[in-house]
Chains A and B, each alone.
Chain A
Amino acid sequence: MDHLGFIAAVYLTTFGVIIVLVAKTVKQGRDLASKVADKDKPWT
Chain B
Amino acid sequence: MTSASSTTTQTFTAKVATPTTRLVGAMAIVSMAWVVLGGLFVTPSDVNQGDAVRIMYVHVPTAWVAYLAFIVTAIASACWLLSRKHAMGFDRVAGASAEVGVIFMAMTLLSGGLWGRITWGTYWAWDPRLTTTAFLLVTYIGYLAVRGLGGSLEQRARRSAVIALLAVLEIPLVHFSVLMWRSLHQRASVLSGDGDIKMDGSMLTTLLVGVIGFTCTFAWLVMHRSRVLAMQDAVQSSQLDAALQDRASESAGLK
Contacts and interface: CB of A to CB of B under 8 A. Distances in A.
Q: Do A and B come from one complex?
A: yes
Q: Which of A13, A25, A34, A39 has the most CB of B within 10 A?
A: A25
B118 A3 contact: yes
Contacts of A43: 16, 18, 227
Interface residues of B, number: 43
A3 B52 contact: yes
Contacts, number: 109
Main secondary structure of the interface of A (DSSP, over half): helix
A30 B114 CA distance: 36
Contacts of B11: 37-38
A21 B23 CA distance: 18
| Chain B interface SS verdict (over half) | helix
A17 B50 CA distance: 26
B51 A7 contact: yes
Given A10-B115, A18-B217, A29-B224, A36 B50 contact: no
Interface of B: 5, 10-16, 18, 32, 36, 39-40, 45, 50-52, 54-55, 58-59, 62, 100, 103, 107, 110-111, 114-115, 117-118, 217, 220-221, 224-225, 227-228, 230-232, 234-235
18 contacts: A2-B50, A4-B51, A6-B114, A9-B114, A10-B110, A15-B32, A25-B224, A29-B16, A30-B14, A30-B16, A33-B231, A34-B14, A35-B235, A37-B11, A39-B10, A40-B230, A41-B15, A43-B227
